[in-house]
C-alpha cells in the first residue's frame, strides 16, 4: 500500500557503535535524516553527560561566529552563500577551527578596540575644533561692539528674559562700566596637551571691579533647554550662557550613532559659581574643553587641532581598511563554518543521548527507524565505519516494544503542504488512515465551491503558478517575510484552489461577476415591441419551446441568469442543494474510511457495532434526502401536467422534517399527493425507524458485547482456578483473594466503556444533523462572494464608465486601478482567507471527526537539514 495512505511502519532498534566509529556513524545518519534517537539517560542532567565539554566548545565557537557575523553585517559586507553543504568535520578538525576562530576574534576585537579609541580621540578633537570656531564668533562679536554698554549688547532681544535680568543686574552693579570680554581676557595657564580633558584653569581676569571667567564645552543638543534652566536656577541668574549649534552631526564612538551637539560658553564670576557651574556641566554630561582667551593662542591651537585631525583621519582610514580586509576574508567562509559547527554540536548532542557500555568500548543507542529504510541506514553506518577506519562493524538490532511508534508520513513538496493542514489538527495515530490523499482533492474543491469565480480563481492560479515555476530561485532567496513564506509553503494548495475555482467559476458562469456567453443562451424573448416598451418586468416561460430550447446550456449556468431579476432565488435553490449533496457525500466517505481503520486494526466488533449502524443512520436519513433532491430534479418539469408540474414539487426540507416527525402534510390543490413517488410514505417511516433503531445499537452493542466476553473469560478463569483448587489445597487462599480486585477493575473499565460509547454515539447522531447543516456554509459563502464581487463591480467599475467623452478613458484608467486593488485585497485575499478557513473547518470537524483519531506523535528524525533550517531561522529572528 502506498505510504501516503498510512504512516510508515516503524521499528525500535538498538544500535551498538564502537566508540571510535560513533562520531562518523552519527554524522552519516544525520546526513540521512531517517533515524530518531531516544534519550537513554533522561535522568542525567545536561552537565553530567559524557560529551559536555565538546558541546561547550561548540557553543563557544558559535558565539565567536555570531560575533564575526554581527561585525560583517555592521560593515554591510555580503556573505557568500554558495548553498553547498559541507560534511561534518572530523573531531580533530575541530581544534583547527577553534584556533582559526580564536585568532579572528582576537584580531577583530583588537582592531575594534583601537578604532574606538581613535574615534574617541577624533570626536574630542572635532568638538574642540568646533568650540574654537564658535567661541571665536562670540569673541568677535564682543570685539566689534567693544566700548558700548555690555548690557545692551548682551540683552539680545532673542535671549530669554532671565538673561536680560542677569545682564541688567550686572549692568547695574558695574555701574555703567563696560564689560570687556574677549579682547581683554587672557589665558594664563594652558595645559601642554590640548587633548587632555583636563579642567581648564583660568586666571581670574579683572574687568573693572569684577573678575569674569568662562568655561567652554560641548553638550547634546536636546539637553540644552534643561541645562540652561538648571544653570539659571542654581546660579540665581548670575551666569551668562551662550550657545551655538554644531551643524554636522557627530558620531558617538561607543554606539556608532549620529548625535547632534551644541557648543556653549558660560561666563561667570567667582570661585563658588565656578564650582557650581562645573558640577552642573558634569551632571549634564557636557564635555568641557580648555579654551585659551587670547585670540592668537586660539588661532595657534586651532591650527594644531587641524593637523592632528588630519593625522588621525589617515590612521583611522588604515584601521578601517584592515578591519574590512579581515571581515571580507571571514565573510567568504562564515556560512560554511556555521554549518560545520552546527553539525558538530548536533552530533555531540546526539552522542550524549547514548548509553555507555560497561567496557567503555562501545556506545549503545536506541532509535526509531522506518522499516523500509533499514537497508539505507545500514549502508550509511557502514560508510561511517569505513570513514573512521574502525574494523568492528556497527550492529543494528530490532527490538520488540509495546510503546506506540511515532507517526511518519513520507511527503514530497506537493503533498507536504496538505499533510501540514492535517497535522495542524492532530498527528495521526500510528498506522491510522491518513486523510491527506483525500484532502488533496476535497480541500481545493470545497474551497472552490465557496470561491467560484473564473476571474478571481485565475488570479489565484497565476500567482501560485508563478510561485511553482520559480520555486527553485524563490526557495534559494530565503525571504524572512512571514506572510510570503506562508504563501510559498502553500503554493501547491493555492495552485489547486485557483484551478478548482476557475472550474466552479465556469459552472457558476461568473467572471468578475459577469457571465460568459460561450455557447449562446438557450432562452429567447418573443415579446413584441409594444409589450417590451410598456412593461417594466417580463417573464420568459420555460414551458414554451419558443422561449426556451428545452435543452440546458451545455456547461454550467445559462448566461441569461446574469440579467434576470430572480437570479439569486434561482441560484440559492441550486447552491443549497449541491452544498447538502457534497456534504453528505463528504461525510459518507469519512465514515467509509473508518471501515478501513477497523479492518486494518482487526476490530471486528467496531465494524458491526459502530460502522454499520453509522452508515445506516447517515444513509437512511441524509443520503435519502439527497436522493429526494435528484428525484425532484428529474420528475418535475415545466412542460409536465399536474401533478408533475413544478407547482406541485414539494419542498425537500419540509418533506424531511415531516418524515422525521411522522407528520402528514396536506397536498396542494390540483396535486394529488405530497409524495414524489408511490410508497414514499411507507418507505420513509421504515427508514426513520431503522435509523432510530441504530442509535441504541451504537450506544449499547459494543459495551455489552465486551462485557459478556469478559464475563465468559472470567468464568473460564474461575473454572480453571477451581480445578487447580481441587488439586492443590495450598493455592486456595491465593485464588480466593485474586478475583475481587480484577473484577473491580473490569467494572471500572466497563463503566468507562459505556460512557465513552455514549459520548461517541451522541456526538455522531447529533453531529450528523448539525454537520449536514454546517455544509450549508458552502452555499452561504458562495452567495456572499458572488454578491460582493457584483457590488464591487457596480459600485466601482461602473462608475468608471459614466463620462461621455474621451476623458472617460483617463477616468477609467484610474478607476480600473482602484477596482483591481480592491479585487485583490477584498475578494481574493480576504474572501479567499475566509473560504480557506471554512474549508479547513469542514475538513477538521465534519470530515475527520468520522474516522480520524489524531492521537499520535510525529517522527522527528535526527537530521542536519532540519537542524540547520531551524538554526538559520533562529538567527534571522
Partner 1 sequence: MKFCGPKLSLCGIIISIWGIIQLVLMGFFYYIRSVALIEDLNIGEDHIFKNSQEFYSTADKMYSLNAYNCWIAACLYIFTLVVSGHQFYMNNRNTMSL
CA atoms within 13 A on the CB side of 517: 9
Pick between residue 559 and residue 650 the one whose CB is nearest to partner 1. Answer: 559
Identify which of residues 172 and 801 has a Cβ nearer to partner 1 in the complex. Answer: 801
Q: For partner 1, which stretch binds (CB under 8 A), given 247-255, 277-285, 301-309, 512-520?
A: 512-520
Q: Which is nearer to partner 1, 352 or 823 (CB)?
A: 823
Q: Could you give the string, one character per residue 765-794, with x where binding to partner 1 holds by CB under 8 A and - elsewhere?
A: -----------------------------x
Report the distance separating Cα 214 and Cα 291, nearest Å: 9
515 binds partner 1, rule: CB under 8 A: yes
Residues facing residue 266 across a β-bridge: 215, 241
Going by their DSSP bridges, the two strands 395-399 and 36-37 should be labelled as: unpaired
Q: Which of 469, 563, 682, 773 binds partner 1 (CB under 8 A)?
A: 563
CB of 823 to partner 1, least distance (A): 9
Three-state SS annotation for 457-479: HHHHHHHHHHHHHCHHHHHHHCC
For residue 824, the minimal CB distance to partner 1 (Å) is 9
Among 110, 809, 833, 837, interactor with partner 1 by CB under 8 A: 809
**808 touching partner 1, by CB under 8 A:** yes
The answer to whether residue 567 forms part of the interface with partner 1 (CB under 8 A) is no
CB of 801 to partner 1, least distance (A): 5
Q: Give how far Cα 522 sits from Cα of 94, 151, 558, Å.
A: 80, 102, 7
Prior bond to 643 cis, omega within 30? Answer: yes
Q: Tell me the window of 90-98, 112-120, 229-237, 796-804 that interacts with partner 1 (CB under 8 A).
A: 796-804
Cα–chain center distance at 477: 18
Write the Ramachandran bin of 509: left for phi over 0, alpha for psi from -120 to 50, otherwise beta. Answer: left
Minimal distance, residue 485 CB to partner 1, in Å: 17
Minimum distance from residue 68 beta carbon to partner 1 (Å): 22
Q: Interface mask (CB under 8 A) for partner 1, residues 206-225, using x and -?
A: --------------------
Whole-angstrom Cα distance, residue 779 to residue 579? 6
Stretch that binds partner 1, among 117-125, 186-194, 525-533, 690-698 (CB under 8 A): 525-533
Q: Burial of 262 by CB count in 10 Å (0-12 exposed, 13-18 middle, 19+ buried)?
A: buried
Identify each DSSP E strand in 269-392 by its residue range. 287-289, 355-356, 362-370
Q: Which is nearer to partner 1, 192 or 473 (CB)?
A: 473
Q: Which is nearer to partner 1, 189 or 801 (CB)?
A: 801
Contact string 541-560 vs partner 1 (x = CB under 8 A): ------------------x-
Given the DSSP bridges, would you call strands 355-356 and 287-289 parallel, antiparallel or unpaired? unpaired
Instruction: Kindly state whether residue 514 participates in binding partner 1, applying the rule CB under 8 A.
Output: yes
CB of 811 to partner 1, least distance (A): 8
Q: Does 517 help bind partner 1 (rule: CB under 8 A)?
A: yes
Q: Tell which positions 811-840 bind partner 1, by CB under 8 A.
A: 811-813, 816-817, 820-821
Q: What are phi and psi of 551, to 5 degrees?
A: -125, 130
CB of 128: closest distance to partner 1 in angstroms?
A: 37
> What does the block give as the cell for 854?
489524531
Q: How many residues bind partner 1 (CB under 8 A)?
A: 29
- Quickly tell me which residue has 581670574 as its cell: 204
Smaller CB distance to partner 1: residue 525 or 664? Answer: 525
What sign for the dihedral angle of Cα 648, 649, 653, 659?
positive
* CB proximity list for 316: less than 8 A, separation 6 or greater: 115, 118, 119, 122
Q: Work out the angle at residue 412's Cα, subtended by the Cα atoms of residues 407 and 418, and round it to the nearest 5 degrees.
A: 70
529 binds partner 1 (CB under 8 A): yes
Which residue, 633 or 813, has its beta carbon nearer to partner 1?
Answer: 813
Q: Which of 181, 188, 210, 201 is nearest to 270 (CA)?
A: 210
| Among 401-409, 422-430, 760-768, 810-818, the segment contacting partner 1 (CB under 8 A) | 810-818
Compute the distance between CA of residue 854 and CA of residue 842 in angstroms, rounded to an integer: 16
Place of cell 578591519: 323
The residues, ordered by sequence, that sit 6+ positions from 168 with a Cβ below 8 Å of its Cβ are 151, 155
Q: Cβ 524 to partner 1, closest distance in Å?
A: 12
Which of 47, 193, 741, 806 touches partner 1 (CB under 8 A)?
Answer: 806
Residues from 690 through 749 that contact partner 1 (CB under 8 A): none
Minimum distance from CB of 529 to partner 1 (Å)? 5
Q: Report the residue from 177, 184, 562, 658 that binds partner 1 according to the rule CB under 8 A.
A: 562
CB of residue 854 to partner 1, shortest distance in Å: 40
Nearest CA-CA partner of 51 in 337, 342, 347: 347
Position among 379, 555, 802, 833 found at the interface with partner 1 (CB under 8 A): 802
Among residues 43, 804, 876, 877, which is the contact residue for partner 1, using CB under 8 A?
Answer: 804
- Choose which of 401, 672, 798, 869 interacts with partner 1 (CB under 8 A): 798
Q: Which residues contact 56 (CB under 8 A, 6 or more apart)?
A: none
Question: Does the protein bind partner 1 through residue 533 (CB under 8 A)?
Answer: yes
Among 133-141, 640-648, 741-749, 797-805, the segment contacting partner 1 (CB under 8 A): 797-805
Least distance in angstroms from the C-beta of 556 to partner 1: 14
DSSP secondary structure, 733-790, as one string: HHHHHSHHHHHHHHHHHHHHHHHHHHHHHHHHHHHHHHHHHHTTHHHHHHHHHHHHHH
* Contact in structure between 806 and 836 (CB atoms under 8 Å): no
Which residues are near partner 1 by CB under 8 A? 514-517, 529, 532-533, 559, 562-563, 794, 797-798, 800-804, 806, 808-813, 816-817, 820-821
Amino acid at each position: 500500500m502506498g505510504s501516503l495512505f498510512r504512516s510508515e511502519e516503524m521499528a525500535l532498534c538498538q544500535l551498538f557503535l564502537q566508540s571510535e566509529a560513533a562520531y562518523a556513524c552519527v554524522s552519516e545518519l544525520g546526513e540521512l535524516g531517517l533515524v530518531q534517537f531516544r534519550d537513554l539517560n533522561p535522568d542525567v542532567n545536561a552537565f553530567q553527560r559524557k560529551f559536555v565539554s565538546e558541546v561547550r566548545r561548540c557553543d563557544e565557537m558559535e558565539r565567536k561566529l555570531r560575533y564575526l557575523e554581527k561585525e560583517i553585517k555592521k560593515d554591510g559586507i555580503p556573505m557568500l552563500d554558495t548553498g553547498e553543504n559541507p560534511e561534518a568535520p572530523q573531531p580533530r578538525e575541530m581544534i583547527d577551527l577553534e584556533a582559526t576562530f580564536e585568532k579572528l576574534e582576537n584580531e577583530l576585537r583588537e582592531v575594534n578596540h583601537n578604532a574606538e579609541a581613535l574615534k574617541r580621540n577624533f570626536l574630542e578633537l572635532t568638538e574642540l575644533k568646533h568650540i574654537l570656531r564658535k567661541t571665536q564668533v562670540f569673541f568677535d562679536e564682543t570685539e566689534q561692539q567693544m566700548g558700548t554698554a555690555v548690557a545692551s549688547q548682551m540683552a539680545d532681544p532673542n535671549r530669554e528674559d532671565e538673561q536680560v535680568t542677569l545682564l541688567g543686574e550686572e549692568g547695574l552693579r558695574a555701574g555703567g562700566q563696560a564689560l570687556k570680554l574677549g579682547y581683554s581676557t587672557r589665558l594664563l595657564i594652558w595645559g601642554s596637551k590640548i587633548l587632555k580633558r583636563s579642567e581648564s584653569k583660568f586666571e581670574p581676569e579683572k574687568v573693572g571691579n569684577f573678575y569674569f571667567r568662562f568655561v567652554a564645552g560641548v553638550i547634546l543638543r536636546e539637553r540644552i533647554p534643561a541645562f540652561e534652566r538648571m544653570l539659571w536656577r542654581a546660579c540665581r541668574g548670575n551666569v551668562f550662557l551662550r550657545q551655538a549649534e554644531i551643524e554636522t552631526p557627530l558620531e558617538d564612538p561607543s554606539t556608532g550613532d549620529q548625535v547632534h551637539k551644541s557648543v556653549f560658553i558660560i561666563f561667570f564670576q567667582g570661585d563658588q559659581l565656578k564650582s557650581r557651574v562645573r558640577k552642573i556641566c558634569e551632571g549634564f554630561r557636557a564635555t568641557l574643553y580648555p579654551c585659551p582667551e587670547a585670540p592668537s593662542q586660539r588661532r595657534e591651537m586651532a591650527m594644531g587641532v587641524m593637523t592632528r585631525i588630519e593625522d588621525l583621519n589617515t590612521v583611522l582610514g588604515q584601521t578601517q581598511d584592515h578591519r574590512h580586509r579581515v571581515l571580507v576574508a571571514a565573510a567568504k567562509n562564515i556560512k560554511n563554518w556555521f554549518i560545520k559547527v552546527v553539525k558538530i554540536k548536533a552530533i555531540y548532542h546526539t552522542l550524549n543521548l547514548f548509553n555507555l557500555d560497561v567496557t567503555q568500548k562501545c556506545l549503545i543507542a536506541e532509535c526509531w527507524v522506518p522499516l523500509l529504510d533499514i537497508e539505507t541506514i545500514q549502508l550509511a553506518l557502514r560508510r561511517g565505519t569505513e570513514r573512521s577506519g574502525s574494523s568492528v562493524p556497527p550492529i543494528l538490532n530490532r527490538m520488540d516494544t509495546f510503546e506506540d511508534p511515532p507517526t511518519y508520513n513520507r511527503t514530497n513538496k506537493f503533498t507536504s503542504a496538505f499533510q501540514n493542514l492535517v497535522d495542524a489538527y492532530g498527528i495521526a495515530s500510528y498506522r491510522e488512515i491518513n486523510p491527506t490523499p483525500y484532502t488533496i482533492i476535497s480541500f481545493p474543491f470545497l474551497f472552490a465551491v465557496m470561491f467560484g469565480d473564473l476571474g478571481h480563481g485565475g488570479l489565484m492560479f497565476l500567482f501560485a503558478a508563478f510561485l511553482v515555476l520559480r520555486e527553485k530561485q524563490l526557495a534559494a532567496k530565503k525571504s524572512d517575510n512571514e506572510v510570503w513564506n506562508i504563501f510559498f509553503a502553500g503554493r501547491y494548495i493555492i495552485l489547486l484552489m485557483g484551478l478548482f475555482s476557475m472550474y466552479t467559476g465556469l459552472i457558476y458562469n461568473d467572471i468578475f461577476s459577469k457571465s460568459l456567453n460561450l455557447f449562446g443562451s438557450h432562452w429567447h424573448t418573443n415579446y413584441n415591441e409594444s409589450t417590451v416598451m410598456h412593461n417594466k418586468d417580463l417573464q420568459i416561460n420555460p414551458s414554451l419551446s419558443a422561449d426556451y430550447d428545452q435543452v440546458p446550456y451545455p456547461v454550467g449556468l445559462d448566461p441569461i441568469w446574469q440579467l434576470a431579476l430572480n437570479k439569486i432565488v434561482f441560484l440559492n435553490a441550486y447552491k443549497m442543494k449541491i452544498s447538502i449533496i457534497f456534504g453528505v457525500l463528504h461525510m459518507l466517505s469519512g465514515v467509509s474510511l473508518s471501515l478501513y481503520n477497523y479492518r486494518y486494526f482487526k476490530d471486528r466488533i467496531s465494524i458491526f457495532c459502530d460502522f454499520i449502524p453509522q452508515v445506516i443512520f447517515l444513509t437512511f436519513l441524509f443520503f435519502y434526502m439527497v436522493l429526494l433532491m435528484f428525484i425532484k430534479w428529474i420528475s418535475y418539469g415545466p412542460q409536465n401536467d399536474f401533478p408533475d408540474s413544478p407547482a406541485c414539487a414539494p419542498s425537500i426540507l419540509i418533506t424531511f422534517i415531516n418524515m422525521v416527525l411522522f407528520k402528514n402534510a396536506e397536498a396542494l390543490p390540483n396535486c394529488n399527493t405530497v409524495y414524489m413517488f408511490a410508497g414514499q410514505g411507507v418507505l420513509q417511516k421504515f427508514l426513520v425507524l431503522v435509523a432510530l433503531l441504530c442509535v441504541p445499537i451504537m450506544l449499547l452493542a459494543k459495551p455489552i458485547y465486551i462485557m459478556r466476553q469478559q464475563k465468559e473469560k472470567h468464568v473460564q478463569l474461575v473454572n480453571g482456578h477451581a480445578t487447580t483448587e481441587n488439586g492443590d489445597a495450598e493455592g486456595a487462599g491465593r485464588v480466593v483473594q485474586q478475583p475481587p480486585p480484577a473484577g473491580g477493575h473490569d467494572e471500572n473499565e466497563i463503566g468507562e466503556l459505556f460512557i465513552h460509547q455514549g459520548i461517541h454515539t451522541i456526538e455522531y447522531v447529533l453531529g450528523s444533523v448539525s454537520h449536514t447543516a454546517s455544509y450549508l456554509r458552502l452555499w452561504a459563502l458562495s452567495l456572499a462572494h458572488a454578491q460582493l464581487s457584483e457590488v464591487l463591480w457596480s459600485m466601482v467599475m461602473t462608475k468608471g464608465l459614466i463620462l461621455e467623452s474621451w476623458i472617460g478613458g483617463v477616468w477609467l484608467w484610474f478607476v480600473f486601478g482602484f477596482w483591481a486593488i480592491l479585487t485583490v485585497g477584498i475578494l481574493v485575499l480576504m474572501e479567499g482567507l475566509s473560504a480557506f478557513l471554512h474549508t479547513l473547518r469542514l475538513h477538521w470537524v465534519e470530515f475527520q471527526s468520522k474516522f480520524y483519531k489524531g492521537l499520535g506523535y510525529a517522527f522527528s528524525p535526527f537530521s542536519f537539514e532540519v537542524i540547520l533550517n531551524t538554526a538559520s531561522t533562529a538567527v534571522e529572528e
